[in-house]
Amino acid sequence: MCDYSLEMYESRSAREGEVYVTTRFPTGSIGLTAPEDATTAICLICGSRLMLENLSPAVQSELGVKETEEVTFTYLNEGLYHDGVAFDNGVRVTLCRLGPGVMISLKDPPRPAKQAEQRRDSTVLTPAE
């Protein structure tokens, strides 16, 4: 998904094997771009596993993480920005909180069939009365 705050920009889906960077757009929002095209927002599927590199010392200290971390791309339903990441230590933050200059690569993008299966598995059915 691409954050609503990036809708006014050209966007495209992430591609396996590419590396992205967190970039501050003219509106002040931070999103993902390919290093060779800082004007096109890159959209990810929620649940994608990502490798983050180049996390700032301030972010590392505040979030209790290392300079390089594996995370899950997620939707955060709080505040102004919704594109975020979930660290394995349980911390969830927006891409804006990571700041610009973080290098991101797809580790394991989810597959549509897998997502549908996960939704089906999480549905609780009750017997008809």
pLDDT averaged over every residue in the chain: 83
Are the C-beta atoms of 19 and 74 separated by less than 8 Å?
no
Are the C-beta atoms of 101 and 22 separated by less than 8 Å?
yes
What H or E segment, with its residue span, contains residue 58? Answer: helix 57-63
**61-103 pLDDT, tens digit each:** 999 999 999 999 999 987 888 899 999 999 999 999 999 999 9
Where in the chain are the domains? 4-120
